[in-house]
A and B are shown apart, each in its own frame.
Chain A
Amino acid sequence: MDLDSSLLIFGALGAVAAASAVGVVAFGNAVRSALCLVANFFTLAFLYFTLNAELLGITQVIVYTGAIMVLFLFVIMLLNIGAPQALTEKRDPRLLAGYAFGAALFALLFTQVILPLKDLNQPGSPDAYGSPQAVGRALFTGYVWPLEMVSVLLVIGIVGSILLAKRRI
């Protein structure tokens, strides 16, 4: 089996992504989980670059590691000020069941979905398919109605979260 540079890059990025994904679940402290999630999202952005999806990689950095993770850390910080004991967890009795279910799910999907696709090894789409021009053209021609629906959804989300923050429930 020949080792070329893209395989090495994928191996390094994939190892970091997998390790930080495990860290999100394994760390008992919520702040450490959040920092592992930042590392995972950032590595995923580079994996998107290796798939030639440049615009989506940049969007991943801005939206996930920027906006969403700041939101997570902000809420953790607010809860830590209000009640530090609220973030500590008790020992969980369902640990073994969770691991068993995860292993079974992995084995099932790997053998039934991924192994039949092992012969598909060459990228089929053109190299420029992830450029801003191509994505923008598709987004504002064929997918313009879903785009508008997403804007409506985001407005509803903003109004809903403001209502939740303001009203005494």
Chain B
Amino acid sequence: MSGVPLMAYLALGLFMFTTGVVGVIIRRNPIVIFMCIELMLNAVNLTLLAFARYQPSAGSDPVGSAMAGQMMVIFVMAVAAAEVAVGLGIIMAIFRLRHDIDIDEMNLLRG
């Protein structure tokens, strides 16, 4: 039986998420910004798993009802993998075009 309260997991997840948000705001290197986005996704994964573990067992099928959080985490991981592959490809393409990846200099999409 775990003696750790749910609040501890949620507080850790919230701290990691906030750190990721601050990193996205203050950093200018797009690769580090990507890492901060991964940090936020992982914080959300931790929160989902903590909720899946601590939810009150309900109904006639307690294992099945505890699955929703884990399924969500699996799909978040798959989407994150695809996102990283495409995003880093875009960063490499921009780098080949401009030989510079500073996020403040990227104004190609400015209207």
Chain A residues within 8 Å of B96, by CB: 169
For A27, the closest partner residue in chain B by CB is: B32
For A87, the closest partner residue in chain B by CB is: B29
Interface residues contributed by chain B, number (CB under 8 Å): 78
Residue of B14, B39, B97, B102 contacting most chain A CB atoms (<10 Å): B39
Residue of A40, A51, A97, A122 contacting most chain B CB atoms (<10 Å): A51
Q: Are A110 and B14 in contact (CB under 8 A)?
A: yes
Rounded to whole Å, the gap between the CB of B15 and the closest CB of chain A is 6
Interface residues contributed by chain A, number (CB under 8 Å): 91
Rounded to whole Å, the gap between the CB of A67 and the closest CB of chain B is 7
6 tightest Cβ-Cβ pairs between the two chains A and B = A157-B82, A125-B66, A164-B89, A98-B25, A102-B22, A25-B23
27 A-B pairs with C-beta separation under 8 A: A24-B23, A25-B19, A37-B35, A51-B9, A53-B73, A60-B77, A72-B88, A75-B88, A75-B91, A75-B92, A78-B92, A79-B95, A94-B25, A102-B25, A106-B15, A117-B7, A118-B7, A122-B1, A123-B53, A124-B55, A124-B66, A126-B57, A129-B62, A135-B67, A146-B71, A154-B82, A157-B83
A contacts, CB < 8 Å to B: 2, 4, 6-7, 10, 14, 17-18, 21-22, 24-25, 30, 33-34, 37, 40-41, 44, 47-48, 50-53, 55-56, 59-60, 63-64, 67-68, 71-72, 75-76, 78-79, 82-83, 86-87, 89-90, 92, 94-95, 97-99, 101-103, 105-106, 109-110, 113-115, 117-118, 120-126, 128-130, 134-135, 138-139, 142-143, 146, 150, 153-154, 156-158, 160-161, 164-165, 169
